Structure 1
Amino acid sequence: MRKIILIAAALYSAGVFAADPVPASAKQPDMTHIQTALNGAKPDSITLTAIPGLYEVIVGGQVLYLSEDGRFAVQGDILDLSSRANLSENRRGELREKAIEAVGESNMVVFTPEGAVKHTVTIFTDIDCGYCRKMHSQMADYTKEGIKIRYLLFPREGINSESYHKAVAVWCADNRQEAMTKAKRGENVERKTCDNPVKAQYELGQKLGVRGTPSLILESGEMIPGYVPPTQLAQMLAENKAAKPAAQP
């Protein structure tokens, strides 16, 4: 499998796996080489993993692993063979979830069901993306399924592109939901400028590994790239919710 670290059976039988990284000890890995590779940028966190001598290093929202002597860095996934859990993806999900929470719903363009909200999905969207437009054209079907859709603005062509200016116009409109719908239909939205989060959201998407639109972030932090039809998305969300472990008392 691509970009997967296969842990030998000997490690498995030795019981080195855990569901989450253990707290870092006073000892830290040698950061000399990685700091040079990062041009002096400081990691967000350094945590000792459940594998002896291997540290988890969070850099700009991305997860990589570093040997204690600092000589070897590994970019890939660690699998727990006992539970078949992808520990690295679980960690990335935690980081995405926290990052999305930090944005706050007031900084998103939100479409809420008239009835009960069963699920919430946050979507990095581009005004001109074809599948983003298809998804938006079915907004009534998503909300009918009880799915709240929260848009983060991600102009794929980058800052100061035509899509970027359209996103700013949507944000600065008197009615953002209405402006979003018009823009997704290809209709003109009055060009306005104001204080807006478009650049910050674009940079956040890059930090979280968004490579295309639409990119869906589920409540668990899991990222689903690409268009998902309303009924299929509702089923996926229901299955994920049913599979989620119950909170410990």
Structure 2
Amino acid sequence: MQGALVDAESRRNLTTARLEQLNAVAFSDLPMELAFTQVRGNGSRHIAVFEDPNCGYCKQFRRTLLEVDDITVHTFMYPMLAPDSADKVRDVWCAKDKAAAWDAWMIEGKRPATASCDAPLPQMVALGQKLRVRGTPTIIFADGTRVGGALPRAAFEERLAKVAAR
């Protein structure tokens, strides 16, 4: 058998449901010391997002996040796309304000100042590999479900509402 298995009565895609279950991540088990956190509004809705500094879709998603209120975003930088990704991640990690440096790069195109510190790059890469992050952005919702790729605002808000309803 090849293809998706669909419940004929409910029209529910059982293959997608099973894949979501297999790819689920225990949100509480994420090593937040490898991330930086931004809170907008009351921060009641939580996501973790894996992003590469050279990812165009990540930059698009980052702009979408500017329009979303009442959210806490835990950003895991994941240098995987280009040889200089690791340098940019290191420079952001070593910045005084990681979130501001990341947003300046991702939204405004302002490269972070070259810096040197003990950035946990090997641990960041190992985490992404362990969680089978194959592309960026990868969004992990508070219920452990994940989405690969940038979501438009309406679809993102819909997923946040679905998680809140669980």
Q: What TM-score do the two structures reach when normalised by structure 1?
A: 0.56
Q: Is the 1:216–1:224 contact (alpha carbons within 8 Å) kept by the matching residues of 2?
A: yes
Equivalent pairs, count: 158
AA aligned opposite 2:116: T
> Is residue 150 of structure 1 aligned with residue 77 of structure 2?
no
- Asked if the contact 1:119–1:237 (Cα under 8 Å) also holds between the matched residues in 2, the reply is yes
Q: In the superposition, relative to structure 1, how do residues 135 and 4 fare at CA in structure 2: closer, same or farther (>3 Å)?
A: closer
Distance change in 2, residues 1:220/1:174 (3 Å):
same
Structure 2 stretches lacking a partner, 5+ long? 6-13
Alignment match, 1:235? 158
Give the structure 1 partner of residue 31 of structure 2: 103
Q: Structure 1 residues 91, 225: closer, same or farther in 2, change over 3 A?
A: closer
- Whole-Å Cα distance in 1 between the matches of residues 23 and 148 of structure 2? 15
Q: Larger Rg: 1 or 2?
A: 1
- What is the aligned counterpart of 1:135 among 61, 68, 77? 61
Shift of 1:188: 2.3
Aligned residue among 100, 104, 118 for 1:178 = 100
Q: Distance in 1 between matches of 2:130 and 2:34?
A: 18
Pairwise CA distance, 1:222: 1.2
Higher share of residues assigned helix: 2
CA spacing shift, 1:3–1:97, aligned 2, 3 Å: farther
Distance 1:197 1:126 in 2: 15
Deviation at 1:232, TM superposition (A): 2.2
* Residue of structure 2 equivalent to 1:215: 138
Q: Displacement of 1:91 after TM fit?
A: 4.6
The separation in 1 between residues aligned to 2:51 and 2:119, in whole angstroms, is 16
1:90 aligns with 2:21: yes
Q: Which runs of 5+ in 1 are unaligned?
A: 6-78, 245-249
Return the offset for 1:208.
Answer: 1.2
Deviation at 1:132, TM superposition (A): 0.6
- The CA deviation at 1:136 is 1.5
Structure 2 distance, partners of 1:116, 1:168, is 30
Shift of 1:218: 1.0
More strand by share: 1
> What is the SS of the residue equivalent to 1:194?
coil
Q: Structure 2 CA distance, aligned partners of 1:193 and 1:2?
A: 50
Task: Give the AA of the match of 1:181.
Answer: D
RMSD value over aligned CA atoms? 2.7
State the Cα distance separating 1:149 from its structure 2 match.
1.3
Pair 224,187 (structure 1): closer, same or farther in 2 beyond 3 Å: same
Q: Distance in 1 between the 2:4 and 2:17 partners?
A: 12
2:126 to 175, 186, 203: 203
Give the residue type in structure 2 aligned to 1:232: A
Report if aligned partners of 1:124, 1:215 keep a CA contact under 8 Å in 2.
Answer: yes
**TM (normalized to structure 2)?**
0.81
Which residue identity lines up with residue 44 of structure 2 in the other structure?
K
Cα displacement string for residues 68-126 of structure 1 (whole angstroms, at most 9, x for unaligned residues): xxxxxxxxxxx79xxx962x642541xx216x62402x43122211x322311100001
Name which structure has the greater RCO, CA cutoff 8 Å, separation 6+. 2
Please name the residue that 1:53 is paired with: none
What is aligned with 2:49? 123
Asked whether 1:192 is paired with 2:115, we answer yes
